[in-house]
Amino acid sequence: MNKDLLNQIVRHVLSSLMIIPSNFIDPNRTRSLISKEYLLSDPIVFDLEDGESIKNRVWGCQLSAEDKEIKMLLADCHQEKDIKEYCLLVQLTDAPAYGLYFIDSEEENSALISCSVNNSGWLDCNTFLQATFLAGMEQLKDINFAWNKCTNYSEQFKLLQSFINHHDNLDEE
């Protein structure tokens, strides 16, 4: 797996959603997924080593087209102030979910793209699946439909938590 390419794909997707800074997206024509408009009431909770826990924000949006719906949930996963860390879950109705994890700091740049397997496990994507996901996200950007705040997202929220656990388990190895 080409780690540099993976990092660039994840950066591109997050930049397209204006989650991280971009030189190719016009902020006057694109709304960021990180906005009050998409902020969900359910936080993502991280248990820290000292027994404390922190609650971070989660945003969600959805788009309906014909009989299909695509939902995106974004979690702020930072646990240290100087490190940007995000997890994005994207799921189309009746399709596997894709999870992206991105850590951006001076010491570390790491990215991960995985897809759900029967909504119970995760498979890290090879280059072909990464490119397929990127192509789908580019189509969404080009369509320029209006996004709405996510509703009925409990299944996606569980998948988001599951993917964060998957990432954390890989990180520990």
Report pLDDT digits (tens) over 88-117. 999 998 889 999 999 987 666 689 999 999
In the predicted model, what is the mean pLDDT of residues 137-154? 82
Residue 118 clears pLDDT 90, i.e. is over it: no
Residue 55 clears pLDDT 90, i.e. is over it: yes
Residue 47 clears pLDDT 90, i.e. is over it: no
Q: Quick one: which of 128, 154, 130, 159 has its CA closest to 40?
A: 154
Q: What is the pLDDT of residue 50?
A: 81
Q: Which residues of 104-132 are buried (b: 16+ CB within 10 A; e: fewer)?
A: beeeeebbbbbbbeeeeebebbeeebbee
Residue 144 clears pLDDT 80, i.e. is over it: no
In the predicted model, what is the mean pLDDT of residues 67-78? 93
SS3 48: coil
In the predicted model, what is the mean pLDDT of residues 126-152? 85
Q: What is the pLDDT of residue 82?
A: 80
| 148: DSSP letter | E
Task: Give backbone dihedrals phi and psi of 61, rounded to 5 degrees, phi first.
Answer: -140, 160
Q: What is the pLDDT of residue 32?
A: 81
Q: Quick one: which of 6, 23, 5, 3 has its CA closest to 15?
A: 23
d(CA 165, CA 163): 5
- Percent pLDDT > 70 in the chain is 88
Q: How far is CA 43 from CA 33, 37, 76, 121, 151, in A?
A: 16, 15, 9, 22, 15
Count of other CB atoms within 10 angstroms of residue 96: 17
Q: What is the pLDDT of residue 2?
A: 78
Q: 72 with 97: CB under 8 angstroms?
A: no
Residue 87 clears pLDDT 90, i.e. is over it: yes
Q: 114 with 99: CB under 8 angstroms?
A: yes
